[in-house]
Amino acid sequence: MPRDIPVGNGQMLVTFDRHYRLRDLYFPHVGQENHCGSACRFGVWARLPEGTGADERRKQRVYWSDDKWDVSLNYVPDTLATDVTLRHPELAVELRCKDVVDFHRAVLVRRIDVHNPTDDAREFRLFHQQDFYMYGTRIGDTAYYDPQLRSLIHYRKNRYLMACFYLDGDQQTDEYATGTSGFGGAEGTWRDAEDGRLGGNPIAQGAVDSTMMVRVHVEAGQKRTVYLVIGAGFCYEDLDELHRFVHRENPQGIIDRTQRYWQLWLSGATAKFGMPADTGLSRKVRDLYHRSLLVVRTQCDNDGAIIAANDSDIMQFSRDTYSYLWPRDGAFVADAMDGAGFNDLARRFFAFCNGLLHKRGMFLHKYCPDGSEASSWHPWVDPKGRPQMPIQEDETALVLWALWRHYDRVRDIEFTRPLWSSLIRPAADFLVMYRDPDTRLPLPSYDLWEERYGVHAFTVATVFAGLEAAAEFAHCFGDAGRTQRYHQAAAEVREAFNRHLWSKEHQRYFRRVMPTDDDRNAQLMSELFAGRAPGSNPADPLGVAVEPNPDVVAFENDDNIDASMFAIFALGLMPVDDARVRSTMEQVRSRLTVKTDVGGVARYIDDYYHQVTDDIEKVPGNPWFICTLWLTDYDIARAQTLDDLKAAAAGIEWVADRALASGVLAEQVHPMTNAPLSVSPLTWSHATVVATVTRYLARLAELSDKAPKGTPGVTASAPMEGTLA
């Protein structure tokens, strides 16, 4: 179920489902720990207006937000404040809601405007259930009503949450209950609320929840305002201080200051859109670009981790989540945000990565937001029990690539200097070492999709880019030996790529090749685990065999076509105008474009992940936003005239047209219905929008400067008013 409207501040992240139920509450790290075990219910009790024909029981009960409400989920433009409307025709009430997480403190504030459209004064009772799992489990929690803070408090060890209502700016919670939930058949205190009253049980321990209620009397045709406040801390004293802060600033003041903060934050974006007739991009694209910047920020922890996605519903698929840092995804996201002007996010990411590097010089599969090693399915041994590296080598290479691009943009030498010895040099030495001594290709690792083991075109491109980045750093720091070593290794990787991965038969590059001699592969890995480059002289552990012999290595070729081949030109391994690149990318276009009314580009032929049809001729796989934008990047890179950019503009518009109403992008969409599939929002999807639009605008500026005076710009694909800045 998509998380349409996440709000957060880098320490506290709150997400909602399509019924506007609070579904995830992360604190003190984005993506870790999730204190919301299941949906926290939000509902309204009121007597139904006369004339509805309802029986007496239905006239007096709580209507939870998943019970026949018309729910509209959106954001206030250019902010991380939600804009939510709930209408219930039978109950004859409209709620207009706005949520923020304060930009600096761990507190969620929701404004609820209760509209009474009838001709009679009415009483409404608003209920909110706190179905909290401290530390993500339902073991040993306590929930109680605290008379000092006049709030419901949940705690275990050093995690504390509080919840209360305010009415017209003054704290007011009229009834409450705590009780058992999710154990022994107990469903929770929300059941106690269904008659419009709460029993008042003041404390419960173990598997618990709580519910609170506030009464709101609203005159005919009028509205009144209620505020919901949920705060987090490490101890009771934190909640006490937070409570004082809310009283001092008042809930509306917190909303106002947070909206203003995000407007100021967004003004740091460097992209300038100009007039629509000059850009070919609609207002919808501009809005999606801004929304993507903000959504990416919600998924970035203040300590530097960039989380792939925070949608806990994916646990139903694999009993794990996307709430981790993959260094590859993080590198792409950091680079996109860096290019958009948000250099601080990139710095935090690189500083975070600096503490993660394995002693052998590579990054492992993925990491928790606090920097600890995360779950993995990459084995340390091959099928015969012999050692192998459980890595995706592209993750190590791309961090170097992104770090050089960051330094090249901002020249922050004081930040970069200590990373040379602790991150750049050991990672680059690993890339040099982790190569076949005869072919000079990278040794096998797992692909970016985490599905196959081998030597992948995408990985080869990233290793080339990482080595070139390291060579630039080595030159900057006056290390002539490593400058030459890294440049030479990069050149050898490029030559080996064209020797072993180009297919004359298919007139495109192979997605993957796999050395067939298992015993030789195992021997090379054993040497690597012994601390020296495979095939090298033990006296020169970073070296490689002096005389390569590529003909001794036999490969099994994987001729499936893959959208990730965009990396071949995008990371500089081969020029975009090379005939082999052009042939490869045009086959990506023809073979991976989804041939339904939905369109878009699949990952590869017969993609099984969330597969909805076996008609692979028509639907090679579900369309992914990042894959569609990678093909758009190709159109941008090869454009020679303003007219050439029209295809690229169409690709960007395709993405904007398939965003949710809130502007949120999932990982993929259903190839027949456009419905979001897999996690939502996916940080990489939004970051790729940012990166592609940034590249488009830069290429547009280049071509406009070259165009003869008076040449018309790109025609906008949708009307747009005003100047975008």
pLDDT at 54 over 60: no
- Rounded to an integer, the average pLDDT of 493-515 is 97
Q: Which of 631, 621, 606, 634 is closest to 668 using CA atoms?
A: 621
- Rounded to an integer, the average pLDDT of 87-108 is 96
The fraction of the chain above a pLDDT of 90, given in percent, is: 85
Query: Which range, of 4-18, 42-56, 636-650, averages the lowest pLDDT?
Result: 42-56
The CATH number of residue 143's host domain is 2.70.98.10
- Rounded to an integer, the average pLDDT of 519-547 is 77
> Between the CA atoms of 238, 241, 242 and 246, what dihedral angle is there, to the nearest 10 degrees?
170
Q: What is the pLDDT of residues 430-448, one digit of tens each?
A: 999 999 999 999 999 999 9
Instruction: Determine, yes or no, domain membership for 632.
Output: no
Query: How open is the CA angle 259-260-262, to the nearest 5 degrees?
Result: 70
Cα 309 to Cα 5, 75, 323, 329, 330, distances in angstroms: 13, 19, 6, 11, 11
- Assess contact for 208 and 154: CB atoms under 8 A: yes
- Assess contact for 216 and 114: CB atoms under 8 A: yes
Q: What is the pLDDT of residues 237-277, one digit of tens each?
A: 999 999 999 999 999 999 999 999 999 999 999 988 875 55
How far is the C-alpha of 116 from the C-alpha of 122, rounded, in Å?
A: 7
Instruction: Determine, yes or no, domain membership for 180.
Output: yes
Instruction: Determine, yes or no, domain membership for 169.
Output: yes
Expressed as residue numbers, the domain containing 89 is 41-266
Q: What is the reported pLDDT for 185?
A: 76
Q: What is the reported pLDDT for 59?
A: 62
Q: What is the pLDDT of residues 371-401, one digit of tens each?
A: 999 999 999 999 999 999 999 999 999 999 9
pLDDT at 341 over 80: yes
pLDDT at 353 over 70: yes
pLDDT at 719 over 50: no
Instruction: Determine, yes or no, domain membership for 659.
Output: no
Query: How open is the CA angle 394-395-401, to the nearest 5 degrees?
Result: 80
Residue 6 carries which side chain, given as an amino acid letter? P
pLDDT at 708 over 80: no
Q: What is the reported pLDDT for 725?
A: 29
Instruction: Determine, yes or no, domain membership for 579.
Output: no
Q: What is the reported pLDDT for 722?
A: 31
How far is the C-alpha of 470 from the C-alpha of 350, rounded, in Å?
A: 15
Residue identified by tokens 């395709």 is 654
Q: What is the SS3 string spanning 151-192?
A: EEEEEECCEEEEEEEEECCEECCCEEEEEECCECCECCCCCH
pLDDT at 310 over 50: yes
- Rounded to an integer, the average pLDDT of 350-373 is 96
Write the burial class of residue 340 (CB in 10 Å: 0-12 exposed, 13-18 middle, 19+ buried).
Answer: buried
Q: What is the reported pLDDT for 724?
A: 23
Instruction: Determine, yes or no, domain membership for 719.
Output: no
Q: What is the reported pLDDT for 531?
A: 84
Q: What is the reported pLDDT for 723?
A: 27
How far is the C-alpha of 493 from the C-alpha of 471, rounded, in Å?
A: 14
pTM of the shown model: 0.94
Beta strands 508-509 and 502-503 are antiparallel
Instruction: Determine, yes or no, domain membership for 210.
Output: yes
Q: What is the SS3 string spanning 616-628?
A: CCCCCCCCEHHHH
Domain count, the chain: 1
Q: What is the reported pLDDT for 276?
A: 53
Instruction: Determine, yes or no, domain membership for 413.
Output: no
pLDDT at 538 over 80: no
- Rounded to an integer, the average pLDDT of 133-147 is 94
pLDDT at 57 over 60: no
pLDDT at 147 over 80: yes
3-class DSSP state of 74: strand
pLDDT at 1 over 60: no
Give me the chain's average pLDDT, please.
92
